[in-house]
Each structure stands twice: as C-alpha cells, then as structure tokens.
C-alpha cells in the first residue's frame, strides 16, 4: 500500500475525493492550535457551509482526529440548543525523530502537534557494523514506544539523521564515520520496520532545521549550523529552507583542510605529537579540559584547532553569507570558541554574521529529525494546495 494513500485513508476514511480531502484539511487547520472551538466558529473560520463542516467533522471524529469536548464556559450557557465544541486530537497519531550516530542512538517521540512525549538514548560503539547499528536503532525505537505506551501503528512519519552524504532516496552515498555506512540503503532498510514514511537526512542539515525550529535560530531564515568536531560538517538554511546542494553534499567542509596541505584537526589538537583518534570524543574533551586548566601544551593545541575551525567557518560564511552561524557538536560546550570565532569572522568576512552556540545540546539532530517527520505529517493533515497523488 502506498504511504500517501494510507495517510489519506486515515483522514477521510477511504474517500479520496479531492474536494473532501481539501475541506478536511481546511477544517483541521482551523483546529490545529489545539483550542476547542464551536461548529459556528469553524464555519466562520473555514468559509465552508455549515452542512459541509458538519460532514467533515463527522468524518474526522470517525477517524478519531477530532473529538467533541464538554465545555462549561464562564460566559454562561448559550440560549437555545447548547453549542457543540470540538478539538483536534493531537494524540491520534505520533511521529519519531531518530539520530543514528557514531556513539549514540537517540530517539524522540511526539504527538501530531509536535508535543514531545518521550525520548530514549542508547550508547553504541564506533566499531559496530551496519547491521548491529541498525539493530540498536530498532531496539531503541521499540524501547521508547513500549515505555510511552504508543503503538507502532500510531506512527505517521519517521525522520532519521545520520552522518554522511545522503541521496534523495535515503541511501548513504558516502559515510566514512561508521563501518559499513557508505552505500547502505538506509531508507529502504528502515522502511521495513515502519508502515509510515521514513525520511533520511544528513545530521548537520537536521541540526540546522532544529535550531531554526526551537533553538538559537528561531525567526532567522539564513542560517549555517556547524557541527564542530574533528571532521566538521555544516547544514544551511537559505530563505528558511534546507539547502541540500545538487548532490546532497552541501556543507561538507571537512575536506577543505586537506587542500591547504595543512595538518588535520586530529593532529592540530594533539598534545603528544601522535594524532588523536578522530572519533574519540573523550580524548578531545581531555585536551579541552587541560587547556582550560592552563596547561600550556593543550592551550597551544587548542589555538591550532581554533584557527582551523575559524578557517572552515569563514569559508562557509564567505560562500553563503548567512545571517547567523550556530556552533554545535562537542565544541558547543566551549564558550571559549565563541569569542575568537566572532572576532576572526568580523575581521575577515566582508559582512560578518551573528555567531551563537547551539541551545539544543545533544538532542539537536534527533529534534531536527522529528521536525522533518512533523513536516511530513503537517503536509498530510493541513496542505490544501497539492493533489493527493503528489504526496506520501
């Protein structure tokens, strides 16, 4: 069964008449803010006739997307027949955001209105092969659904974030951070576990979306999110929309240092002369702590690393000219990063952007994945400008 028609079925009970679907979407829009409203208000808000709204509400109640509510208003009783009040049942369905990372699987669960219901984190190792990692992700999802008492059939959409270049169909074109990731058809593999749409996206891209949704970039449409690490990646919003690039590789700035014949970050940040393991975040954290405590060798290493980061961020800023740069990843723990970055960007960029630290912490990728899923849900629930066949 096609996912799109599956969702449409839930909306209008198998009646795929375009007009009826549009009327349902218009009515749900008027209900989406969660407030209970009367039939009369709905007629006013939607511009539909009273009998049409009554029919639509009837259908939406059957598919359990709308509920009638008891209302004892302060304003006292209406004269005549008491008004009937209705509300959108955001609990009628759910969406999931999943991060599949090098060291962590993180899952967040929300209702149809995006209200977060729960989350679950599972540690994984950098050496796990793709099967083990996928198994861990499935396990984390099952655990969260069980804890929250939510049925898998109640899921309307799943968003997934992971490092690497992701093709439009959800396969991993290039993913060097985790064994077996390059070439994996991640979308197809995960779609077997769910009956709803599963959307795959690069982790830094989702982080940009998350910060725009509820983090440091709320209200700003031109944003670069830098997932700062030993191999930095970035995600960009342009005019409020994700910029994936022609081949999904936009923002993969990590390779830039290879060109300058300059040392890699894992060398720059080393205090021993031996390069750090690029995936060993704990070793990096030790250097940062030493630097903060005044250790001279660590401080010099940190300076070298910062210069590298400034260069990468400057390249992004000069190319894209965003309003705001958000710094995330483990470097976001460092207030020490912010000031040098601001100073250097102001010095070298023709128009310096604002610079802020991520406010969403370790949840940022999973939250972006959840937002991706919610966009899918909202398009199904509320969009009125496309024929059904163009979706899902």
Contacts to a copy of itself by CB under 8 A: 165, 173-174, 222, 234, 236, 238, 243-256, 258-260, 262, 310-311, 314-316, 318-323, 344, 348-351, 353
How far apart are CB 11 and a copy of itself at their closest, in Å?
30
The rounded distance, in Å, linking the Cα atoms of 102 and 386 is 38
Q: Retrieve residue 254's tokens.
A: 């990590």
Residue 224, C-beta contacts closer than 8 angstroms, at least 6 positions apart: 208, 234, 235, 236, 251, 313, 316, 317, 320, 322, 324, 325, 326, 353
Quick one: CA torsion of 224, 213, 217, 175, rounded to 10 degrees? -20
How far apart are CB 125 and a copy of itself at their closest, in Å?
25
Look at the alpha carbons of 345, 346, 352, 354 in this order and tell me if their dihedral is positive or negative: positive
Query: By C-beta, is 60 or 356 nearer to a copy of itself?
Result: 356
Cα atoms in the 13 Å half-sphere on the side-chain side of 6: 14
Cβ atoms within 10 Å of 359's Cβ, excluding its own: 16
Longest CA pairwise span in the chain (Å) = 85
Residue 130, C-beta contacts closer than 8 angstroms, at least 6 positions apart: 178, 179, 180, 181, 184
Query: By C-beta, is 124 or 326 nearer to a copy of itself?
Result: 326
How far apart are CB 296 and a copy of itself at their closest, in Å?
21
Query: By C-beta, is 202 or 380 nearer to a copy of itself?
Result: 202
Query: By C-beta, is 66 or 165 nearer to a copy of itself?
Result: 165
Query: By C-beta, is 121 or 182 nearer to a copy of itself?
Result: 182
Query: By C-beta, is 308 or 371 nearer to a copy of itself?
Result: 308
How far apart are CB 178 and a copy of itself at their closest, in Å?
15
Q: Retrieve residue 214's tokens.
A: 């509820």
How far apart are CB 221 and a copy of itself at their closest, in Å?
8
Residue 108, C-beta contacts closer than 8 angstroms, at least 6 positions apart: 96, 97, 116, 118, 119, 363, 366, 367, 369, 370
The rounded distance, in Å, linking the Cα atoms of 65 and 381 is 10
How far apart are CB 227 and a copy of itself at their closest, in Å?
14
- Per the CB < 8 A criterion, the answer to whether 89 and 33 are in contact is no
How far apart are CB 195 and a copy of itself at their closest, in Å?
32
Query: By C-beta, is 32 or 243 nearer to a copy of itself?
Result: 243
How far apart are CB 340 and a copy of itself at their closest, in Å?
12
How far apart are CB 329 and a copy of itself at their closest, in Å?
17
- Per the CB < 8 A criterion, the answer to whether 355 and 338 are in contact is yes
Query: By C-beta, is 232 or 329 nearer to a copy of itself?
Result: 232
- Quick one: DSSP state of residue 78? P
Query: By C-beta, is 170 or 322 nearer to a copy of itself?
Result: 322
């Amino acid at each position: 069964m096609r996912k799109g028609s599956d969702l449409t079925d839930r909306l209008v009970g198998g009646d795929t008449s375009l007009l009826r679907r549009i009327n349902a979407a218009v009515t749900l829009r008027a209900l989406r803010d969660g407030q209970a409203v009367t039939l009369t208000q709905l007629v006013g808000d939607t511009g539909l006739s009273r009998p049409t709204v009554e029919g639509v509400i009837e259908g939406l109640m059957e598919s359990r997307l709308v509920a009638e509510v008891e209302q004892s208003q302060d304003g006292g009783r209406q004269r005549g027949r008491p008004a009937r009040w209705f509300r959108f049942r955001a609990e009628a369905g759910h969406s999931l955001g999943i991060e599949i990372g090098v060291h962590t699987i993180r899952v967040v669960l929300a209702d149809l209105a995006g209200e977060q219901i729960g989350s679950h984190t599972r540690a994984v190792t950098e050496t796990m092969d793709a099967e083990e990692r996928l198994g861990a992700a499935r396990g984390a999802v099952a655990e969260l659904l069980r804890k929250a008492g939510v049925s898998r059939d109640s899921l309307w959409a799943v968003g997934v974030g992971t490092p690497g270049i992701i093709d439009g169909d959800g396969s991993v074109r290039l993913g060097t951070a985790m064994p077996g990731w390059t070439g994996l058809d991640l979308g197809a593999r995960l779609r077997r576990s769910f009956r709803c749409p599963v959307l795959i996206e690069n982790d830094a891209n989702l982080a940009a979306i998350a910060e725009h949704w509820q983090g440091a970039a709320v209200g700003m449409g031109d944003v670069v999110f830098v997932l700062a690490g030993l191999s930095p990646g970035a995600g960009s919003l342009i005019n409020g929309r994700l910029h994936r690039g022609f081949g999904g590789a936009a923002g993969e700035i990590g390779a830039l240092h290879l060109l300058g014949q300059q040392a890699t970050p894992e060398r720059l940040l080393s205090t021993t002369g031996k390069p750090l393991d690029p995936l060993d975040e704990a070793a990096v954290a030790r250097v940062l702590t030493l630097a903060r405590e005044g250790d001279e060798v660590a401080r010099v290493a940190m300076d070298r690393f910062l210069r590298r980061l400034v260069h990468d961020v400057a390249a992004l800023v000069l190319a894209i000219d965003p309003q705001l740069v958000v710094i995330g990843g483990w470097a976001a723990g460092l207030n020490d990063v912010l000031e040098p970055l601001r100073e250097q960007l102001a010095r070298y960029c023709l128009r310096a952007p604002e610079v802020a630290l991520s406010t969403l912490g370790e949840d940022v990728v999973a939250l972006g994945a959840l937002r991706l899923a919610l966009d899918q849900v909202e398009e199904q629930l509320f969009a009125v400008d496309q024929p059904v066949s163009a979706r899902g």
